[in-house]
Chain A
Amino acid sequence: DTGVSQDPRHKITKRGQNVTFRCDPISEHNRLYWYRQTLGQGPEFLTYFQNEAQLEKSRLLSDRFSAERPKGSFSTLEIQRTEQGDSAMYLCASSVNSGAEAFFGQGTRLTVV
């Protein structure tokens, strides 16, 4: 399968715990995006990587959130000290260049209890 893959698909965690999600983009895509989607809403941009460089972060990305893309390949999104408000679908997308369509993974659904 050559699409965007995300792992895990579902994560249930207790409030206060740390969680980490992984995204593997389409191999030739140098642009990688993270979005968050809550129930009944459209996806909201969190952060953007071009190769290994994190070039943009949304104000939605609080200090508890950190993302990396070592070597410009896969990316990880970590949430520290999770809160109930972090419960959402976290979507990863990749694209080949500016303005090109972004291809999305199936997302990681996080539930904080």
Chain B
Amino acid sequence: AQKVTQAQTEISVVEKEDVTLDCVYETRDTTYYLFWYKQPPSGELVFLIRRNSFDEQNEISGRYSWNFQKSTSSFNFTITASQVVDSAVYFCALSAISGYSTLTFGKGTMLLVSP
């Protein structure tokens, strides 16, 4: 069985602060994919990143960066210099590499960025 835990229910920061969203996962698969999605108030889930379990390199995309540590089963997401437009619910998700690739989501972390 797969499980994704996002222990932070809600985080509030002031604009320009850095913020890290935590994600811990459990799986019996030796190979898998990890994802982050953003859900703004409009409701649509927006894909942010996919990481293969083979690749433990950290990734940076603009103000976003991801820290994947297989040893601790964590895939944390950092937003640098947060902006009001970053306010949303962020979901971490896990899927097997083979098979139907259904996603197992965490409960999400609501990020509120105030001006």
Q: Which residues of A contact B (CB under 8 A)?
A: 31, 33, 35, 40-45, 48, 50, 55-56, 89, 91, 93, 95, 98-107, 109
Pairs A-B, 8 closest by C-beta atoms: A42-B105, A104-B45, A106-B44, A45-B102, A101-B47, A107-B43, A48-B100, A101-B50
What band does the interface of chain B fall in when counting residues whose beta carbon is under 8 Å from A?
Answer: 20 to 34
**A-B pairs with beta carbons under 8 Å apart, 14 shown:** A31-B100, A35-B103, A40-B108, A42-B91, A43-B45, A43-B105, A93-B45, A98-B97, A99-B50, A99-B97, A100-B50, A102-B103, A104-B44, A107-B43
Contacting residue for B33 out of A33, A43, A99, CB 8 A: A99
Task: Give the complex CA separation of A35 and B100 in angstroms.
Answer: 14
Query: Which residues of B, 81-115, contact A by the 8 Å Cβ criterion?
Result: 91, 93, 95, 97-108
Per DSSP, are chain A's interface residues mostly helix, strand or loop, or mixed? strand
Task: Give the complex CA separation of A27 and B6 in angstroms.
Answer: 33
**Across the interface, do B91 and A105 meet the contact criterion of CB distance under 8 Å?**
no
Q: Which residues of B contact A (CB under 8 A)?
A: 4, 33, 35, 37, 42-47, 50, 91, 93, 95, 97-108
Contacting residue for A98 out of B47, B93, B99, B103, CB 8 A: B99
Q: Which residues of B contact A102 (CB under 8 A)?
A: 47, 101, 103
**Across the interface, do A56 and B105 meet the contact criterion of CB distance under 8 Å?**
no
Of all chain B residues, the one with the shortest Cβ separation from A103 is B47
**Across the interface, do A89 and B102 meet the contact criterion of CB distance under 8 Å?**
no
Of all chain A residues, the one with the shortest Cβ separation from B98 is A98
Task: Give the complex CA separation of A33 and B91 in angstroms.
Answer: 17
Q: A35-B103, A43-B105, A107-B43 are in contact. List 18 more A-B contacts (CB 8 A).
A: A40-B107, A42-B4, A43-B91, A43-B103, A45-B102, A48-B102, A56-B100, A56-B102, A91-B45, A98-B97, A98-B99, A98-B101, A99-B50, A99-B97, A101-B47, A101-B50, A105-B44, A106-B43
